[in-house]
Amino acid sequence: MADPALAETLKGFVLLHVDLTKPPDGSPAANTADKYGVKYLPDLRILAADGSVKATVEARDAKNLVEELGAALKK
């Protein structure tokens, strides 16, 4: 990873990638998109262990991403 601060911050997260590119209706991916209200991609959500949304990340550069992820960890 090019940004060391971002690489360090990401150590506090479990990363999960869900491909929501044109999921078939009724598929697990489509159900996930519906559950979280995903309308546009990319979409980055920080979820708690119970599946509730802790934060929706809007950062578009590494510095802002580190800030938003850090704030989400504190919630």
Residue numbers of the domain that contains 51: 4-74
User: 33 with 26: CB under 8 angstroms?
Assistant: no
Q: Which residues of 57-69 are buried (b: 16+ CB within 10 A; e: fewer)?
A: beeeebeebbebb
pLDDT at residue 2 greater than cutoff 80 = no
Report which secondary-structure segment, H or E, holds 55: strand 53-57
Total of domains in the chain: 1
> What are the pLDDT digits (tens) for 33-58?
999 999 888 888 999 889 999 888 88
Whole-prediction pTM: 0.72
> What are the pLDDT digits (tens) for 7-27?
888 888 898 888 888 889 999
Provide the pLDDT for residue 3: 85
